[in-house]
Structure 1
Amino acid sequence: MQIKQILVPTDFSENAEDALIYATELAKRCSAKLHLLHTPVIPTYLLMDLSYSPGPEAVTRILNESQDALDQQAKGLAAAGVEYFTVIREGTVHEVIRDYAREHDVDLVVVGTHGRSGVSKLMYGSVTERVIKTVHTPIIVIPPEGGKMPSSIVVAYDFSAPAKRAAEVARAIHGPFPGPLHMVHSYLDVWGEYTDRGAVVGEAAEKRRQALHLGLEEMLKTESAELFSSDPKGIETHLVTGDPAEGLLRVAQDVGATLICAGTTGKSGIERLLIGSVARRLLHESKVPLLLTHDDG
């Protein structure tokens, strides 16, 4: 795949600006078009159990102010020489983003996060949790610290279809950027606890332990060579045991990763990944941008 259309939903916050800065540089490197999308909040007032929406003049004012803010943010895009579109769409935020991404064949969505609470404060707060659950387009989440360009990429790889999808997106992002790409597989060391159970049991367990490691190492290298056949020399593989998130974050820190990639599966898409401890830790603890993909994205 190629990254040709990038969508940046914005609420004009500092975090959204960080996402836009990241996406702008990515669009330049990938020769991609950038879509800057804002969904205005049209307030509804409650009085005596009845709801009242603002009149036409108030709505027009809100839309005009939104367009002015979009135009202001877009100045950086024009200066960077990136082809862009500014769009205002009313509606429910996560549905607007999902529908727009589908309609315009968006390849990548870039969003920012707020503060320490990570995913619970993504861009529009809990609304963006629904964005992550709903939008099956690959999403890059920019942490509060901002993000550097993906010169060193780590891919969490468990040989599943979603993992392959994450690797494919990583390959497309990696193309314009020099630097290594690291494939990381975390596995359960099932024989480790038996290596000290006496000479006979321990020796047999150690042989099986080594065989498992060597087998996984060969599988990972084979898959990596197939996925990145155009540049196999730039790919490094890593096997880690123990807690998957901890192992992945440790490798990412050791290699100086500037992007971590992970996939998810199931009918509920990234919603399943979000409720898992691995994803929760990645979203809360990663200091670098995190790419999340869905197997049918």
Structure 2
Amino acid sequence: MSSKKILLATDLSARCDRALGRAAMLATQWQSSLIVLHVVEDRKSSTPNAAGLPSWRCPPDPFDTARKNLLADVDALPDLPTVRIAEGNPVEIILCNADVENCDLIAIGIGRDESFGHFILGRTADRLLRRSRVPLLVVKERPRRPYKNIVFATDLSASSRYALEKAGRLFSGQRLTVFHAYTPASELITEPVSHRQYRMEVEQEVRAFLAGVDKTAPGWQQPDVLIEDGAPNLLLRDYVRDKDVDLIVLGTHGRSPLLELFLGSTAKVIMDDVPCDALVIREPRESVET
């Protein structure tokens, strides 16, 4: 397996603990290097003038506090990662580090609204989902085991094909399940024969989609295929829960109908329906600047 590089972006909150554990597990599994990055947004505003105060009353420097907390967090990991602390716009710095280091994956964590049971994407995660050219792993679950049951949700677009090829390289040697949900093109299709004919056409489209996938990557496994009639987000939610899926993979070009069902216009509802971790892979030329 070729060497990979992972960037974990953490805000040092509890929601990032699981992301750190997952990133460390993947680094071990892939024998890759891990960079743990924290960005201080506004150092000056958080370090008021403490002139004349005794040392014990001086506010701590955010850089010193962040470094202390980061080193404590990574100390228990089997392999110590590279720890970095920067100041500025978190999204810009995360994307810049991922680009300069030629990272294969960015990992982030999200929180849960306990009142409603929904997962919450913060502003930084929202913007990363829209802009990152590097595959973005959103971690929700506690990493109890390596990813074993991976589902790739496809809308059969060219960008989705790119994402499948990328996922196949990231998880080399693992068998994926390709999941495609569809609804009949017209409500006039009511007869069983018409439904069967429409499904046959969809199955043909899926076969054509898979035939166009680059299968030359080392460790490529022919995926299992699941085709279902219904709304993708609801079907995926039920399938993930019933089949104990570890990871769902989504490909997007920024205007994918499938992704819009998950992200909506503000990229904040992707976690509402699907309870497992999610990997979003955007076709590079189609990244959206917002």
Which TM-score tier does this pair reach, normalised by the shorter chain?
0.7 to 0.9
Letter in 1 for 2:183: L
Letter in 2 for 1:236: D
User: 5+ residue gaps in structure 2?
Assistant: 52-57
Tell me, yes or no, if the aligned pair for 1:245 and 1:278 is still in contact at 8 Å: no
For residues 9-64 of structure 1, the C-alpha deviation after alignment (integer angstroms, 9 at most, x for no partner) is 1122221111010011111111111110011243555xxxxxx9745997982212
Describe how 1:82-121 pairs up with structure 2 within 5 A. Answer: 84-116=81-113, 121=120
TM-aligned CA deviation for residue 266 of structure 1: 3.4
Question: What corresponds to 2:160 in structure 1?
Answer: 163
Question: What corresponds to 2:54 in structure 1?
Answer: none
| Residue correspondences, number | 273
Change beyond 3 A, Cα 1:55–1:135: farther
Q: 2:274 aligns with which of 279, 286, 289?
A: 286
For residues 172-196 of structure 1, the C-alpha deviation after alignment (integer angstroms, 9 at most, x for no partner) is 34326x5x4110111122367533x
| Separation (CA, whole Å) in 2 of partners of 1:91 and 1:263 | 29
TM-aligned CA deviation for residue 150 of structure 1: 1.5
Q: 1:146 aligns with which of 142, 165, 172?
A: 142
TM-aligned CA deviation for residue 99 of structure 1: 1.1
| Separation (CA, whole Å) in 2 of partners of 1:96 and 1:115 | 25
Change beyond 3 A, Cα 1:56–1:185: farther
Q: 1:81 aligns with which of 63, 79, 89?
A: 79
| Separation (CA, whole Å) in 2 of partners of 1:111 and 1:173 | 17
Change beyond 3 A, Cα 1:277–1:217: farther
- Identical columns (%): 23
Tell me, yes or no, if the aligned pair for 2:110 and 2:139 is still in contact at 8 Å: yes
User: 5+ residue gaps in structure 1?
Assistant: 46-51, 196-201
Tell me, yes or no, if the aligned pair for 1:153 and 1:258 is still in contact at 8 Å: yes
TM-aligned CA deviation for residue 157 of structure 1: 1.1
Question: What corresponds to 2:71 in structure 1?
Answer: 71
Letter in 1 for 2:198: L
Letter in 1 for 2:142: G
| Separation (CA, whole Å) in 2 of partners of 1:211 and 1:232 | 32
Change beyond 3 A, Cα 1:275–1:218: closer
Q: 1:266 aligns with which of 254, 259, 264?
A: 254
Give the TM-score normalised by structure 1. Answer: 0.77
Question: What corresponds to 1:188 in structure 2?
Answer: 183
| Separation (CA, whole Å) in 2 of partners of 1:222 and 1:276 | 28
Is 1:236–2:224 an aligned residue pair? yes
| Separation (CA, whole Å) in 2 of partners of 1:283 and 1:213 | 29
Tell me, yes or no, if the aligned pair for 2:40 and 2:87 is still in contact at 8 Å: yes
Question: What corresponds to 1:49 in structure 2?
Answer: none
Question: What corresponds to 2:4 in structure 1?
Answer: 4
| Separation (CA, whole Å) in 2 of partners of 1:101 and 1:273 | 28
Structure 1 runs of 4+ with >6 Å offset: 56-60, 117-120, 230-233, 270-274
Question: What corresponds to 2:202 in structure 1?
Answer: 216
TM-aligned CA deviation for residue 74 of structure 1: 2.0
Letter in 1 for 2:112: G
Tell me, yes or no, if the aligned pair for 1:10 and 1:38 is still in contact at 8 Å: yes
Change beyond 3 A, Cα 1:191–1:272: closer
RMSD (Å) for aligned C-alpha atoms: 3.5
| Separation (CA, whole Å) in 2 of partners of 1:235 and 1:250 | 20
